[in-house]
Structure 1
Amino acid sequence: MQTFGRIIGLGAIAAAAIALTACGSNDDKSAAPSSSTSAAAAAQKQAPSKGRECTADDIGVTGGFGVAPVITIPDSCDPPKQLIVKDLVEGSGPGAEVGQQLTMNYSLVTWSNKKKLDSSFDRGTPFQLTLGAGKVIQGWDQGLVGVQQGARRLLIVPPDLGYGAGGRGVAPNETLVFVTDAVAVGKS
């Protein structure tokens, strides 16, 4: 299983090196895609539409705050093209602002195969980040603004705010579905 750091972090901080080793914001966006990457992207683009985009309410999530969620992605709708943010459990206190330290637990399921790619819950170690610092995917930097401590938030991240052309264990043009728990907001 790939670590979340392989998807969202840059791996520059030594303390987070294991979680962040290859999870950078997409360093490879400017690189030309390989023929296998192009073929995979073309196959995804040719998938027939199901007639509507999924909403947050279409995604199944079981488990409460602090418990590893089970995420279910339906077959009856298309992945959304815009970032979707929905609090599943409300938190308390002030909402997170750009520049604040966050401590998050998360679970990630990829849309194309509906399988868990990574989970800090499984590792037993929350993930720390500075909101808006560009050290995580744009979907997190944008989608976690306003999150309150104790909140469980669903993020459905389209490819352009996630990992774009893919790589490091993420398929090209992959939509990412995260369930995040805000363990601490504004505290290290």
Structure 2
Amino acid sequence: MLRHAIAPKAARKPMPVTGPVTGPVTGPVVSPGPGAVFVRVLRAVLVGAVLAGCSAAPAEGLELKVAGAFGARPTVDFPEGRPAPGLQVDELTTGKGARLEPDDVAVVQYTAHVWDGGRNRLVDSSFTRGAPAAFPVGGLLPGLDRALEGRTVGSRVIAAVPPGDGFGPNPPRGVSPSDELFYVVDILGAHHKGASVEGRAGTLAGVRVSGGARPALRVPAGAPPARFASTVVERGSGPRARPGRLVVAQYAGAVWGSRRVFDTTWTSGLPKAFKLGDGGLIRAWEQALTGVPAGSRVLMVVPPAYGYGAPGFPAYGIKGDDTLVFVVDVLAVY
């Protein structure tokens, strides 16, 4: 789910992550993805055919041109007519970074067009969102999964995705079941399932967090403190989390009163990605994470006013008067 423990306001409900994320996939954050439009949880399939094409030059056998630097908004010059049948994929730039595997979270810049031989209109783009997107590899459109699995960070990939490898009979608004899609995807980063900060142990208001790769929370008995508190247990040296930037994180959350861990990304799913300052996080996360550099581990104690407020979060057994505890590993900031 997307909006959950860190989810923004108490009114927000957990929702499945469907693609590029701009918030945790199941955690207390909200993440935008290749747009609500272009990512859908579907089973991945095998790798597909090749679409001839090269950056700033016509593709062999086609007159398709994709221009622009890696990581910058591309321009696409479509040839006349519709694309050839079948999934077509090409790699215009080959990166030297980590290779994308199923269950990775890929951080990307991308554009998506409907390739209809007419207007070939732009229907989605991370560039209009103000931050990169997070794609859950293995949980995208079948054609997009086939295009990206096995690619390396630093690569620019283009893919013409036919309807059979797209959304199927129930596409999102603005796309019809018969539309062919064309993606340009720049792979900025890859974050593996289970990734973490090798942080040290720490304490805050009686709460203890263990060190190592997968931190464990130990909440004391007794009444919780009345005030919000946070501390950076391990401080990294990467870019700082700021409003408008995409943050990739792992986290665990517990309820103070019951000392019950209600969610942890280390065992329940993938790293989560979310954008600071867009209203998709609870107040505590916005305050505790802003200014924190990538590579850090943050511990926080969250009274109701800084969490989900009076409505609580029933889906996770969180009542309106529950104080929460979170440990968050800030894996990367884009």
Per the normalisation by structure 1, the TM-score is 0.70
CA offset at residue 138 of structure 1? 1.1
- C-alpha change, 1:60 and 1:20, in structure 2 (3 Å) is closer
1:55-66 aligned within 5 A: 56-64=204-212
Q: Secondary structure at the match of 1:6?
A: coil
Which range is displaced more, 9-18 or 80-89?
9-18
Residues of 2 paired with 1:99 and 1:18: CA distance? 15
Cα distance, 1:6 vs structure 2:
2.7
8 Å contact from structure 2 (residues 236, 293) kept in 1:
yes
- Measured on the aligned residues, the alpha-carbon RMSD in Å equals 2.8
Report the alpha carbon displacement of residue 19 of structure 1 after superposing the two structures with TM: 3.3
Higher relative contact order (CA 8 A, sep 6+): 1
- How far apart in 2 are the matches of 1:145 and 1:72? 25
List runs of 5+ in structure 2 lacking aligned partners.
31-202
Percent identity between matched residues is 32
Report the Cα distance in structure 2 between the residues aligned to 1:146 and 1:157, rounded to whole angstroms: 18
Contact conserved, 1:104 with 1:127, CA < 8 A, in 2?
A: yes
Select the residue among 305, 309, 319 that pairs with 1:164.
309
- Equivalent pair of 1:84/1:155 in contact (CA under 8 Å): yes
Q: 1 CA distance for matches of 2:307 and 2:27?
A: 17
1:169-188 correspondence to structure 2 within 5 Å: 169=316, 170-185=318-333, 187=334
CA distance in 1, matches of 2:243, 2:26: 20
The alignment status of 1:19 with 2:166, answered yes or no, reads no
Alignment match of 1:132 (pick from 254, 274, 277): 277
Aligned partner letter, 1:122: T
Deviations 1:33-85 (A, max 9, x none): xxxxxxxxxxxxxxxxxxxxxx8151111122xx2211111125x31222211
Q: Which residue in the other structure is 1:68 paired with?
A: 214
* Larger proportion of helix: 1
Go from structure 1 to structure 2 and tell me whether the alpha carbon gap of 1:157 and 1:57 turns closer, same or farther (over 3 Å shift): closer
Whether contact under 8 Å (2:238, 2:332) holds in the other structure is: no
Indicate the SS of the match to 2:5: helix
What is the CA-CA distance between 1:131 and the residue it aligns to? 0.8
Deviates most, 122-131 or 173-182: 122-131
Instruction: Name which of structure 1's ranges 13-22 and 91-100 shifts more when overlaid on structure 2.
Output: 13-22
User: May I ask how many residue pairs the two structures share in their alignment?
Assistant: 151
The structure having more radius of gyration, on CA atoms, is 2
5+ residue gaps, structure 1, are 25-54
Does the CA contact (< 8 Å) of 1:109 and 1:176 recur in 2?
yes
Q: Which has the higher strand share?
A: 2
TM-score when normalising by structure 2 = 0.41
Query: How many angstroms does 1:152 deviate by?
Result: 0.6
Deviations 1:121-140 (A, max 9, x none): 11341111101111111111
Amino acid across the alignment from 2:217: I
CA contact (8 A) 1:99 1:131 kept: yes
The amino acid across from 2:315 in the alignment is R
